Chains A and B, each alone.
Chain A
Amino acid sequence: MSGTADAQKGAVIIQERLPEPENPKFRHRSLNLWAGILFGLGFVAFIDETVFHQILHWHKFYDRSSTAAGLVSDGLFHAFSWFATVGGLYLVADLRRKKAFWHRMFWGGKLLGGGAFQLYDGTIQHKLMRIHQIRYEVDIVPYDIIWNGLAIVMIAFGLILIRSAKKDLSGRKVIVNAS
């Protein structure tokens, strides 16, 4: 910025790393993304537990056909989801006090993390490890298609949001570069 008027200094700047934009949210972009991924994962796990286990009673607490790997995987993800939810929210609080919270990056991460977990749950945990099915005594195919289709849509929207956030960042970079 200050050096661009001077041709000599300008040459030096090109070799060095370009200065980041002043806004602190660009400095903490990966933290914003991770806060979103963690919170999204925890949020989907929480919805799974409250809606499908507790309110609808579609999922079973324990299904005898579950493999040992399924029990371990389910246990680990269940434990991790609490940490992800609380930790993701504390990361948001931390970013906000640094005035570095970035909505678009956070929401992109949230959809990506939530969708990825739902896809893992719907394919590997439900089908491969057979921990439990979405619902019992019904034709399961439409449930599985909606469940996993929704997961893929969430992942796609998450990636689109992250891309657009990154474009935002690189767009600003070009302006800084040009000045």
Chain B
Amino acid sequence: MPHEFTDGWTTAISAIALLIGLTGVFLYFWGMAASGRKGRYRRWPGRRPLCWSSGIFFAWLPLSPFFLEAAHHDFRFHMTGHLLLGMAAPMLMAAGAPVKLLLRSLPVNKARKVAGVIRKPVFSFYRHPVTASVLNIGGLWILYTTPLFGLMHHHPLLFLLVHAHLFLAGYLFTVSVLYFDPAPNGHSPLFRTIVFIPSLAAHGILSKLLYAYPPSGVSLEQARQGAMIMYYGGDLIDLAIIVVLFHGWYKKPGYRRTKSRFGAKKPVSL
């Protein structure tokens, strides 16, 4: 192993991740308590803190000391960590609806300010499905098809940066497709579906390329197994995203019922 990536760095990275994670869990439960005290909202569903906390756990797991050590030598561990940090954790954390909770727990005037901020064009730009897809899948292509993958294992700060990007881009991608939280300037389920298909395809194609052309310093056998973990693991999480996306369409009242192709009766307004 290169001398720069010492045990000290491994411990430091794990500790930073653990600290951020615990803060996230603490803030979430604090927000639940604060919004519960107001007494004018519906009860916050119990599955949401469960999703949020398990999401944070899955985000921390690949950054835990044991996992970091293993992922350093073994591409299969690296890829499992990539699935957890970049896909599973963001999906679970987004299902916790943290922005909704924030808006509920803040005093009205501050909540109004936050609502104004998330409506700003810059957020709409980053939360646009195309931007989020390019940042997410484009980042992966850069990581695995350039020397970045090898460099990352020699420079701890680069390692931290790449993993932060992996998580943040994964989260951005999830919230651009699934609207657990309020989504100003949102897009129709059909549009999100159309953007999602090529990015999902690019993920699958990249894993097939990794199968045939391993990144620098990875043996062919490990690359093949890692690529299949990426391909099928990615499929599994994508399936969950697709089900949630279409379920949202199905549950939305009045969707597709308002218009009939053959000019049925107009809805009666009372």
Contact = CB atoms under 8 A, between A and B. Distances in A.
Given A71-B208, A75-B205, A94-B256, A82 B193 contact: no
A86 B205 contact: no
B30 interface: no
Contact of A79 (B197, B224, B243): B197
B239 interface: yes
Interface in A31-86: 61-62, 64, 71-72, 74-76, 78-80, 82-83, 86
Nearest to B249: A90
Given A27-B261, A62-B208, A62-B212, A86 B242 contact: yes
Main secondary structure on A side of the interface with B:
helix
A90 B190 CA distance: 13
A78 B257 CA distance: 31
A90 B249 CA distance: 9
A117 B252 CA distance: 31
B209 to A, nearest CB: 8
Contacts of B18: none
Interface in B202-248: 202, 204-205, 208-209, 211-212, 224, 227-228, 231, 235, 238-239, 242-243, 246-247
A62 B239 contact: no
A101 to B, nearest CB: 14
B258 interface: no
A76 B211 CA distance: 18
B262 A20 contact: yes
B264 interface: yes
Given A61-B211, A82-B235, A76 B197 contact: yes
A108 B201 CA distance: 28
Given A82-B239, A83-B197, A86-B242, A75 B208 contact: yes
Given A71-B205, A76-B198, 9 more contacts: A71-B208, A75-B202, A82-B235, A82-B239, A86-B239, A86-B242, A86-B243, A90-B246, A94-B256
Interface of B: 193, 196-198, 200-202, 204-205, 208-209, 211-212, 224, 227-228, 231, 235, 238-239, 242-243, 246-247, 249-250, 256-257, 260-262, 264
Interface of A: 20, 27-28, 30, 61-62, 64, 71-72, 74-76, 78-80, 82-83, 86-87, 90, 93-94, 98
6 contacts: A27-B260, A27-B261, A28-B261, A61-B228, A83-B197, A87-B193
